[in-house]
Amino acid sequence: MPFFAFDAPQIRYIGRWAQDNHYGACMTATATGSRFQFAYTGQLARLQFNLQLQQAPYPHLYIRVDGGARVEVPLDRYIRINAEGEGRHTVEVLLASMVEMFPRWHQPLVNRVSFEGVEAAALTDLPRPRKKQKTIEFVGDSITEGVLIDPDCRQHQLEPIDRPTQDDVTATYAWLLAQKLDLCPLFMGYGAVGATKSGCGGVPRAAEAYPYCFEGAPVTYPHPDYVFINHGTNDWEADSVTFTAGYVALLDAIVSAHPRAQVITMSPFNGAHQQDIEKLVAEYNERHGKDILFVNGSHWLPCEPVHPLRDGHALAAEKLAEVLRDKL
């Protein structure tokens, strides 16, 4: 079968992908929720990934064929898709989960998905959508990433190693909210990151990381229609002045990159810095003539566990949809 490289025009990338030549030519993502789509003819397609220097356990992917159920598989060098029949088939591959502690910002990226291309009889154009879907970018931490949604799905004595089986970005408040509002979600969620602090995997604080997919790789996707910020949970130790400065720096980075996007801020579910966020957003709007929205999400969910379970994320998505449905 012919091989179609990652940059074939029929392949569509959604989210924080960047061409990365450190391990040979490929398209690389380190943020869960990043995905790619393509259509092919024939029965068999063979996906090819670059695993150089990667550390096990590898990230988990969701693969969806012809709009059916998503099936979870660990990343591997080759992944075969054997569809029904010889006609045209559509495929979506989504980065669902990964070990948040493994390096995924500075080279070498031992925690990543690097797609080299696909073998198939032929690639064809993806079906045209019935209508153009608006996009919403979620900027957050491990809660937005989907960490510990299924905490009991573990097998190792060292618990953080089980993140690929414990986490699921498609069960987060963010993914579910996008579904409820018929929006296309884009994700920037990195564990332990805050407005004032860097996080797991070497990821810098939110304002510094925002313009990049990973170090040296600028984000290149089109301007989102909406940008939703959920930061503050990891900044609970920061005083009001320090936190406000860090959060304003993040707002500046977002507004500078996407001046026409509607920005939405939310206070963390545990109530951290709720008054600070509400105040700084009001002052930012007055100072810059903006209409950034503030949503008070404090104590919608119990403070423990810090990382909501599936039902907690579903409840948060429902509450957010009620608040935002008439505002967007």
User: CB–CB of 115/164 below 8 Å?
Assistant: no
| Architecture, CATH, for domain 3-124 | Sandwich (2.60)
pTM (2 d.p.): 0.97
Strand partners, 186: 137
φ, ψ (nearest 5 deg) of residue 29: -135, 145
Alpha helices in the chain (DSSP H): 142-145, 163-166, 173-180, 206-209, 240-257, 274-288, 310-324
- In this structure, what token pair is assigned to residue 55? 């550390």
Cα separation, 257 vs 159, whole angstroms:
37
CB 19 within 8 A of CB 27: yes
Closest-CA residue to 62 (of 74, 71, 75, 49)? 71
Position 79 scores a pLDDT of: 99
Q: What is the pLDDT of residue 157?
A: 85
Superfamily for the 135-324 domain: SGNH hydrolase (3.40.50.1110)
Q: Where are the domains of the chain?
A: 3-124, 135-324
- pLDDT (tens place) for every residue of the chain, 328 residues total: 999 999 999 999 999 999 999 999 999 999 999 999 999 999 999 999 999 999 999 999 999 999 999 999 999 999 999 999 999 999 999 999 999 999 999 999 999 999 999 999 999 999 988 788 999 999 999 999 999 999 999 998 888 899 999 999 999 999 999 999 999 999 999 999 999 999 999 999 999 999 999 999 999 999 999 999 999 999 999 999 999 999 999 999 999 999 999 999 999 999 999 999 999 999 999 999 999 999 999 999 998 999 999 999 999 999 999 999 999 8
As a whole number of angstroms, the distance between CA 125 and CA 111 comes to 31
